[in-house]
Amino acid sequence: MSTIRKLQVTFDCAEPERVARFWCEVLGYVAPPPPEGFATWDAYNQSLPAEKRDSWFTCSDPSGVGPRLYFQRVPEGKVAKNRVHVDVRAGIGLVGEERLATLEAECARLVALGAVRVRLLAADEENESCIVMQDVEGNEFCLD
């Protein structure tokens, strides 16, 4: 039996580079340099046939610990709730008002990047508070 050593998370979207760059800002990830022989991603895209331009983009954790994120253009728009979502873990180890203040501060930063705040899920007997949000294309994620 083999051991899986790396994980990639793939997002279907309309504008791969835009969504990837949003997640770079959220997570501190980096976009790769343009392919060899091209000074910019725009130059690379212009070298492709029209139907292939801007069809994908990636970003990765500069420390190499987190999963690579791959964004691929699809023709259909988002029509339903995500079956899988990302949890951005900003409040690890914090509880109560301290956790909520940390989440609210991070929420404000993400909204400035283009995210949308959906709702606060208040702490209960089993779970601490989290904030449900959407990225720049409406994909749900939790600020946890």
**pLDDT beyond 80 at 5:** no
Could you read off the pLDDT of 72-103 as tens digits, one per residue?
Answer: 999 888 888 887 889 999 999 999 999 999 99
Predicted model pTM? 0.86
Do residues 142 and 131 touch, judged by C-beta distance below 8 A? Answer: yes
Distance CA 31, CA 23 (A): 10
Domain map (residue ranges) of the chain: 8-73, 86-143
pLDDT computed for residue 3 by the predictor: 73
Distance CA 137, CA 144 (A): 20
Which residues have a Cβ under 8 Å from the Cβ of 16 and sit 6 or more positions away? Answer: 54, 55, 56, 57, 71, 72, 73
Q: What residues pair up with 70 in beta bridges, in sequence order? A: 10, 58
pLDDT band (50, 70, 90) for residue 2? low
pLDDT computed for residue 7 by the predictor: 84
Q: Show the tokens assigned to 75.
A: 């023709």
Q: Phi first, then psi: give them for residue 19, nearest 5 degrees.
A: -70, -40
